[in-house]
Structure 1
């Protein structure tokens, strides 16, 4: 979950040209996809990142450096670009004082990474690891709606190595368009299994869905109950007869569509 929080935080302060905050996030996710193709990470790497520990693998550190640089958060010298990140925060949150305050506080808390000695100079991989650590220590614990989406995309990107699809199909998933091709459906099934939403038998895991409901609570009991209601509706996809059985590709598309159709009815943004 910590790597997700990092991604969610950097999304809000990345320096890229976008007309709206949603455009900013969509473009940012494309950058993550490109960087993971150059610096792939394993299941073990992801599990370690979830604990807030990046480990010592150079490829993982350089993956984060790649993303930081592509968004403009890190400059060509491998340093956190404080002025640029603050500028983006001010641009996109000028009408939201609470989020503006959080963004500026994050930059202030983490700018000290520029003073730390590193061994790889302007590559930025070592400093990216320091910035990751600072980020995990300065973000809230609960999941937002956007972070839930990013969590799924993280697993989609991981699965794309063994379930390759056209880049446009990958972007369609990121934009929450229900997949139509078998390849994209199977990629989604892999992601759902990786995240725990789907069981090894290709079924929707209601117990895991309830655990996610607790994570999205954000101090609001009704929000947790609403998330459980969505899960109670979508678990019914397990009753639908599918052509690929335990493979789960067809059912994954049904889960995806059910979530998109019903989450907004209970106050969740998709």
Structure 2
């Protein structure tokens, strides 16, 4: 009986380590996508440092506003028509903001998603700004 118990405990730890490894791999891929978008959009290093640490950029250029849209597209969070894929956004947000309770995260994503903007870049920029502000509040 003790052997079965130890086996179950080992299996649980092994599976949690596997899940943690996937999250780390996914976050590493996210960092690579961030850098690719920074390069594609020719964003200045000072602005890039702010963007990659979820800090606000004062007087953002059009390239800065399109940064999050670029990353979202690379992650598959936006469809070709620019509309957000809410299921994928929620899964990604769970990884990115894992310390936030799920109900608060869902409420925040819903309220921030109600933002209306003229372009996809503006929508995603404002959406990100809203989410980050809501999390730090």
Equivalent pair of 1:205/1:235 in contact (CA under 8 Å) = no
**Structure 1 residue corresponding to 2:106, chosen from 228, 234, 237:** 228
Deviations 1:51-97 (A, max 9, x none): xxxxxxxxxxxxxxxxxxxxxxxxxxxxxxxxxxxxxxxxxxxxxxx
Residue 255 (structure 1) aligned with residue 131 (structure 2):
no
1:241 is aligned to 117
1:205 is aligned to 85
Please show how residues 1-270 of structure 1 align to structure 2 within 5 Å.
Answer: 140-141=20-21, 143=23, 152-179=30-57, 180-212=60-92, 215=95, 223-237=101-115, 240-242=116-118, 245=119, 248-265=120-137
Q: Which has the higher helix share?
A: 2
Give RMSD over aligned pairs.
Answer: 3.3
Q: TM-score, normalised by structure 1?
A: 0.36
Instruction: Work out the CA distance in 2 between the residues paired with 1:233 and 1:189.
Output: 18
Instruction: Work out the CA distance in 2 between the residues paired with 1:210 and 1:185.
Output: 21
Judged with a 3 Å threshold, the aligned counterparts in structure 2 of structure 1 residues 164 and 216 are, in CA distance, closer, same or farther, namely: closer
- Larger C-alpha radius of gyration, 1 or 2? 1
1:49 is aligned to none
Judged with a 3 Å threshold, the aligned counterparts in structure 2 of structure 1 residues 190 and 213 are, in CA distance, closer, same or farther, namely: closer
**Partner SS, residue 178 of structure 1:** coil
Q: TM-score, normalised by structure 2?
A: 0.65
Judged with a 3 Å threshold, the aligned counterparts in structure 2 of structure 1 residues 217 and 166 are, in CA distance, closer, same or farther, namely: closer
Instruction: Work out the CA distance in 2 between the residues paired with 1:177 and 1:216.
Output: 15
Structure 1, unmatched stretches of 5+, are: 1-136, 266-270
Deviations 1:91-150 (A, max 9, x none): xxxxxxxxxxxxxxxxxxxxxxxxxxxxxxxxxxxxxxxxxxxxxx78825759xx86x7
Equivalent pair of 1:163/1:187 in contact (CA under 8 Å) = yes
